[in-house]
Amino acid sequence: MIRPSLAALRIGFRQVFAYRTEVVVQLVSASIVAGLNGSLWQAAIGGQETVAGVPGPEMLSYVVMAWVAVTFFATRVNEEIGLRFRDGQIAADLLRPLSLQLNCYARDLGRAFAVLGLQTIPLFAMCLLVFPVQLPERPSTWAVWLLSLLLSHLANFGLSFAIGVAAFRLHNITGLTHLKATLVSIFSGALIPLELFGERWQPLVYALPFHSFAHTPASLFLERDVPVGGLLAEQALWAAALWGLGAFAWNRAAHAMTVQGG
């Protein structure tokens, strides 16, 4: 299982380099969004000391880091899997030595590593130049942050994979994909800092998995007064749960395909 996984990892990594222009385009695009959000927030903080209880400079750093997290964990797995179902190629995947989910994850992880070097870090560096981002004081925070990003990626993968597999039943998953994108936009903290939602919405926000995608890595990076171990564990739990969801969906689909010839 190790060797095929590593092979898939390498493939995913190398594929990013094959589409160089797309990498650059995405980097530029992400920078534009970062610039836009950062500028807006700078203007918003302008007169005030705190926004929704968070000190101005910290809020700005939060917004930047939350977006950086999004660019890392974002994936197209749902589209790719959906496409395989539509093309019929999915039948071949049943015969592979490695489970489809593991295979896809390894590839996407490889892709994420490439993205880390080619997009995330350059984006981060550019943001540092333009905005006063608060850097961690403790060296261990960097490691914690990276781990948190990996867990975000894993969790998002699980959900995306499950959505992709839903193509088996739904044939057209664009609605579902839109819905997920909307929920992630709203509840991950990337576009709207979760503190802005006010007291009433906090239970809902923290019941959903999305906050762990961007809000958690950003909070950890900013060394907020939060239980590090607890948050990481929460991320891991969500990642496991979403992975399980994907595995369950895939099992059902695979079963239906082999038994019914679906």
Partner 1 sequence: MASRLPDPPVRARAEARGLTRLPRSVAGVLGLYLAQRLKVKLAYRADFLVNALGDVLLAGVGPLFLATLFSHVQHLGDWTGPEVLFCWGFAECIVGLFFMIFQGLYALNQRYILGGELDRALLRPVDPYLQVLMDNVSLEDVPIFLLGVAVMVAAVVWGLPPIPPWKLALMPLYLASGAAVMGGFLTAVASVGFHLQHRGTAVGLVFQLATFNRYPIDLFARPLRWLLTFVLPLAFAGFYPAVFFLDRPEWRVYALAQPLVGVACMALGYAAWRHGLERYSGSGS
Residues contributing to the site for partner 1 (CB under 8 A): 21-22, 25, 28-29, 32-33, 35-36, 39-40, 43-48, 51-52, 174-175, 178-179, 181-182, 185-186, 191-192, 196-198
Distance of closest approach, residue 195 Cβ to partner 1, in angstroms: 8
CB of 191 to partner 1, least distance (A): 6
The single-letter DSSP state of residue 75 is: -
Nearest to 96 by CA among 87, 106, 86, 111: 106
Closer CB to partner 1, residue 45 or residue 162? 45
Q: Are 165 and 246 in contact (CB under 8 A)?
A: yes
- CA dihedral defined by 111, 112, 114, 117, rounded to 10 degrees? 170
Q: What phi-psi label fits residue 132: left (phi over 0), alpha (psi between -120 and 50 degrees) or beta?
A: beta
**Residue 73 burial by CB count (10 A; 0-12/13-18/19+): exposed, middle or buried?**
buried
- We find the least distance from the C-beta atom of residue 151 to partner 1, in angstroms, to be 24
Q: DSSP letter at 195?
A: G
* Residue 153, both tokens: 């990626």
* Beta carbon nearer to partner 1, 12 or 193: 193
Identity of the residue, 121 or 196, whose beta carbon is nearer to partner 1 in the bound complex: 196
Q: Which of 12, 181, 225, 42 is nearest to 102 (CA)?
A: 12
Q: In the complex, what is the shortest distance from the CB of residue 202 to partner 1, in angstroms, rounded to a whole number? A: 13
Q: How far is the CB of 184 from partner 1 (least distance, A)?
A: 10
Q: Please say which residue, 26 or 134, places its beta carbon nearer to partner 1.
A: 26
If the CB atoms of residues 26 and 99 are measured against partner 1, the closer one turns out to be 26
Residue nearer to partner 1 on the CB measure, 96 or 169: 169
- According to DSSP, the residues that pair with 55 across neighbouring strands are 50
Asked if residues 78 and 122 have their Cβ atoms less than 8 Å apart, the reply is no
Q: Smallest gap, in angstroms, from Cβ of residue 242 to partner 1?
A: 21
At position 59, the amino acid (one-letter code) is M
